[in-house]
Chain A
């Protein structure tokens, strides 16, 4: 009886089963760790998270989201700008003094490093532009998906 049991499981297969179990345990541990880190490992907070859990006045945080269309307002001093960061559910007004990165435009992603002011305006010390996953040449900018497809087909023919 034991003979057939041991014969059924060659050393090679024994190693395979053992290693597979170890790998499953390892991947499980990795996924659990990633799940536990889901908040801590985020690089920035969304406006809705900032609004829901307002950080203290001395607490440095990063705020990330979309720059609201038509919200960038240059201030009279020439170096300060005011704009609004939104994520679809909440909005946070931001003030920043300095040079903005080239990709900082309305309707695009931004990460602002700074702190929340008492007046509800987020004062940013550093601005980082976020790029999205789309790569589009200048000529095709502003076209709809359908127009782009036709343009590309025409070029390739």
Chain B
């Protein structure tokens, strides 16, 4: 694993992966959504609003998957001190937050015609909102730490502690009576009819590829930022040294 610890080697690989992931993700997502929205018949109860599922569920999974990735990267950073771990966690945070937000917005739009309300404070909706706030806090913290050049260890601890919310979101519909229904897709089992399920899985794949592409692009940007800053600092140091030398003479 430490073979990729060298940023130069990682950048070489990341450069190859970024574009195919982004373009492939866009194409698969677009195809999946067109497929779902044109082929899926109205649901027996919800009618055409069932088609929000193709965005809502991938967004929910990626929002929760994003924080799981942050937690794993944080553990790797704290235990193995892998130099890319902190960067990858920072890179995941922004798309993770975007998908958590997308999940909340599409859920709210879906809730109005089906449940009869935009929002309720039940276990599932509340814990998902907490996830969005955790993301925003994490992004603010990592940005502040990077600006001051401090160690990212506090952010890693935040990433691990915040991970407790992920199983709570997952179990909220089982532990507590909630307005949100229980999971439709569990290990090897689906209560979703195949006419919805196949476009849904394609959409999950498309959004996941996009997510991966954004993470690679952001990791490259963060590394480039760090390089530029180091170069500027070296330049400033050299100028300072030259100035003191002249002053002495």
Contacts and interface: CB of A to CB of B under 8 A. Distances in A.
B51 to A, nearest CB: 11
A35 to B, nearest CB: 8
Contact of B44 (A16, A41, A141): A141
Interface residues of A, number: 48
Contacts of A131: 45-46, 114-115, 181
A43 to B, nearest CB: 4
Contacts of B79: 12, 15-16, 19
Q: Taking chain A's interface residues, is the majority helix, strand, or loop, or is none over half, making it mixed?
A: mixed
Interface residues on chain B, size class: 35 or more
A7 interface: no
Contacts of A101: 113-116
A45 B176 CA distance: 10
A46 B43 CA distance: 27
Given A128-B179, A138-B42, A41 B184 contact: no
Interface string A121-157: 0000011111111111111110000001000100010
8 contacts: A26-B164, A103-B46, A111-B179, A129-B116, A134-B192, A137-B41, A137-B193, A152-B194
Interface of B: 40-47, 50, 53, 75, 78-80, 113-117, 120-123, 160-161, 164, 167-168, 171, 175-179, 181-184, 191-196
